[in-house]
Amino acid sequence: MDFIQIRDWGIGLEAIAEEQPILISGPCSAETEEQLLRSCLELAQTGQVHILRAGIWKPRTRPNSFEGVGKEGLVWLQKAKELTGLPICVEVAQPEHVELALAAGVDILWIGARTSVNPFAVQALAEALAGKDVPVMVKNPINPDLKLWMGAIERFYQQGIRKIAAIHRGFSVYGEQRYRNAPIWELPIELKRQWPNLELIGDPSHIAGKRELLGELAQQALYLNFDGLMIESHCQPEQAWSDAAQQVNAADLEELLGNLEPLRAASSDPDFLCHLNELRKEIDYLDHQLLKVLARRMQLVRQIGEYKYEKQISILQLERWAEIYKDRCGQAQDLQLAQEFISLLIQAIHQESIRQQEAVFASSRILDRLQKA
């Protein structure tokens, strides 16, 4: 996939330094002209915001909540763009929104999580954008389905759009948890593995749900080499008409940004590279050992499987499994390995052992039948 990078979108972002994360900020919702302009001007004054955002059409969980001011807000956003000189972006959920936003000079459109979850809705939006040179940012769908996220991006790509970025806003959870949406970082990491030149924006506001947690999530996104951040901000966050708990004012945003360690993706320092290389060689060696040990373990598991089949003994041996689990978790503690990690690892190994023995049972059964026939 041949995505065009954000700095090359032709909207005045080319001068942003390579190592600097692209910062998108603005209120969750445009509420009034005064609120929007004040919020945007305060953000522009920080000199750190590259793109302004505001929700105009808000998909809300339940009816009778504030669902956005609609197209009237586009006029206010246009004013914010004129006054600050910054590009503007809005969420679109229907082809009609696309038409109105483009007519109002919106620079970037984003597709929300409740839209990217629905292939029909995404297809309709992609078709509305066919042949248009408009940048699109696609948020992950609300459920942790990487293929669905990639599918949404592909629908725009297939209509000829190349100025695409992905936004990671986390995934819905059931019940009260630390974060409003679970980050499940392995999904954006896997997205980058598959499409390395797709730029990724972190949305700590929607993951956190509370402003106190924004800093740690923004930092984590930078540790994972995200290309930018989208952070909701409001001139008076406590009085926001939507998502009041997760918005910050411009001064808090500046403080938050000041505490972040922006990191480079790589270094060309020969000493660093040489030392890193030595350590990586040792890791390669150990990983290969690890796989050889696992392969040998599975051989033994299959042998036990044959023996169990012969004696018609069940595959799952609960007592033995409980003993293994306890022993390995205890050893992990002695070795100062994280409990949670070893618990998951040993469960994955045991699950694979069961699958291997099921395969042994299935093939042994076929052999038996053939011999009897």
Whole-number Å distance between alpha carbons of 357 and 362? 9
* Choices 84-92, 176-184, 288-296, 350-358; region in contact with ligand PRE by CB under 6 A: 350-358
Complex with ligand PRE: residue 144 or 305, whichever CB lies closer:
305
When binding is defined by CB under 6 A, the residue of 172, 350, 361, 364 that contacts ligand PRE is 350
Helix (H) / strand (E) containing 167: strand 164-168
Complex with ligand PRE: residue 239 or 351, whichever CB lies closer:
351
Whole-number Å distance between alpha carbons of 87 and 24? 10
Antiparallel, parallel or unpaired: β 164-168 and 51-53: unpaired
Q: Nearest to ligand PRE by Cβ — which residue?
A: 353
Per-residue contact string for residues 62-91; x = within reach of ligand PRE by CB under 6 A = ------------------------------
Shortest distance in whole angstroms from residue 295 CB to ligand PRE: 14
Of 195, 200, 189, which is closest to residue 165 (Cα–Cα)? 200
Shortest distance in whole angstroms from residue 299 CB to ligand PRE: 12
Shortest distance in whole angstroms from residue 184 CB to ligand PRE: 27
Q: Are 156 and 138 in contact (CB under 8 A)?
A: yes
Per-residue contact string for residues 299-328; x = within reach of ligand PRE by CB under 6 A = --x--x-----------xx--xx--x----
Whole-number Å distance between alpha carbons of 373 and 370? 5
Q: Does 342 bind ligand PRE (CB under 6 A)?
A: no
DSSP H helical ranges for 2-142: 33-46, 72-84, 95-103, 113-116, 119-128
Q: Are 225 and 163 in contact (CB under 8 A)?
A: no
Residue bearing tokens 């036990």: 304
**Residues in Cβ contact with 110 at an 8 Å cutoff, skipping those fewer than 6 apart:** 53, 89, 90, 91, 92, 136, 137, 138, 139, 167
Q: Does 114 bind ligand PRE (CB under 6 A)?
A: no
Q: Binding-site residue total for ligand PRE (CB under 6 A)?
A: 10
* Choices 72-80, 286-294, 336-344, 349-357; region in contact with ligand PRE by CB under 6 A: 349-357
Complex with ligand PRE: residue 221 or 304, whichever CB lies closer:
304
Complex with ligand PRE: residue 66 or 361, whichever CB lies closer:
361
Shortest distance in whole angstroms from residue 337 CB to ligand PRE: 19
Question: Exposed/middle/buried for 95, CB within 10 Å: 0-12, 13-18, 19+?
Answer: middle
Whole-number Å distance between alpha carbons of 25 and 230? 6
Q: Does 356 bind ligand PRE (CB under 6 A)?
A: no
Rounded to 5°, angle at Cα 140 from 15 and 32? 70
Q: Does 146 bind ligand PRE (CB under 6 A)?
A: no
Q: Does 354 bind ligand PRE (CB under 6 A)?
A: yes
Residue ranges binding ligand PRE (CB under 6 A): 301, 304, 316-317, 320-321, 324, 350, 353-354
